[in-house]
Amino acid sequence: MVSLCGVTLSLNLYYIAINYITATFAAATTNTIPAITFVMAALLRMESISIKHLHGIAKVLGSVICFSGVLVFAFVKGPPVKFMNWYQSNDHKQIQDSSKTCCSREEWLKGSLIMISANTLWSLWLVLQGPIVKQYPAKLRLITLQCLFSCIQSALWAIAVERNPSAWKLGWDLNLLSVAYCGIIVTGITYWLQVWVIQKKGPVFASMFTPLALIITAIFSAFLWKETLHWGSAGGDVLLMGGLYCVLWGKSREDGKSVTADEQNAETKEKITMESITCH
């Protein structure tokens, strides 16, 4: 069930949605993952919310700022960033015309809803890793099992959807490189690193680094595909990064206080034990 929700459905819905929206907007919508994960973890009492303390306010405020940055990035364009327009004006006009006709309003809405569904399932996968890792600490073996079940589920899905045998063929081209990169780097290494971080810091800490994907995607899209960057998007990036580090600061302060409390409890227990031994 974890493989079905977190890996199979999430990734397949993500690849379906990216056919209707741009790569930069897809990266922007993934920044709703920290807010969704925080809400899920709070409802399941896996993440504490203490408004009485400064670190609790920072976590809540940072999640709100992150979500606001996503909205600003998605809906506020603003003037283009001129120092990124290194290409000719004619090419710029052609790119703008092609971006306007790439997808209709219905396709854009459809892709956005599918992408939000994929992000919700991915947030559920992050939350479920916490209790699973506690009972099954072999992280690499756990990821291998999840990928195995996801491979079986995705194969059945692909057989039911794609009946053309030629679509399954891979040659020595960019398609083979993409499949190898997704299988080795994304699935093999990244999933293991995420589960390792979840075990050490929790699901909310791991999900808070997703805003970096937006900035990296926007930079690569600008350089490789000559996608125009706007000042509104830059403002959304600033909000995302501000909210990210606000939550990380609150999380680190909370972890520091919990460690201090545990040390004080240990010292108190040791002191009581020594006093009891002395009395005897």
The predicted pLDDT at position 269 comes to 57
Give 76's contacts (C-beta < 8 A, 6+ positions apart).
232, 233, 235, 236
pLDDT by 10s per residue, the chain, length 280: 889 988 899 988 988 888 887 777 777 777 777 778 877 888 887 777 777 778 788 878 887 887 787 777 666 767 776 655 545 544 444 444 444 445 676 787 788 789 889 988 988 988 888 888 888 888 788 888 998 999 999 999 888 888 888 878 888 888 888 888 888 888 778 878 888 888 787 777 777 676 677 777 777 777 776 766 677 777 877 887 788 778 777 777 776 766 555 555 555 555 555 555 555 5
The predicted pLDDT at position 156 comes to 92
The predicted pLDDT at position 67 comes to 75
Give 3's contacts (C-beta < 8 A, 6+ positions apart).
145, 146, 147, 149, 150, 153
Instruction: Give the tokens for residue 279.
Output: 């009395």
Domain positions in the chain are 2-252
Rama region for 219: left / alpha / beta (φ>0; ψ in -120 to 50; rest): alpha
Closest Cα partner for 112 from 13, 213, 240? 13
The predicted pLDDT at position 272 comes to 55
Instruction: Give the tokens for residue 39.
Output: 């809400």
Whole-Å CA distances, 39 to 124, 237, 250:
10, 22, 16
Q: How far apart are CA 200 and CA 137, in angstroms?
A: 11
Instruction: Give the tokens for residue 264.
Output: 């004080």
Q: Which amino acid is at 159?
A: I
Q: How far apart are CA 257 and CA 7, in angstroms?
A: 35
Which residue's entry shows tokens 């000042």? 231
Q: How far apart are CA 162 and CA 168, in angstroms?
A: 9
The predicted pLDDT at position 152 comes to 94
Whole-Å CA distances, 159 to 147, 153, 180:
18, 10, 20
Beta bridge partner(s), residue 230 = 80
Q: How far apart are CA 220 and CA 106, in angstroms?
A: 27
The predicted pLDDT at position 79 comes to 78
- 113: part of which helix (H) or strand (E)? helix 105-135
CB 26 within 8 A of CB 115: yes
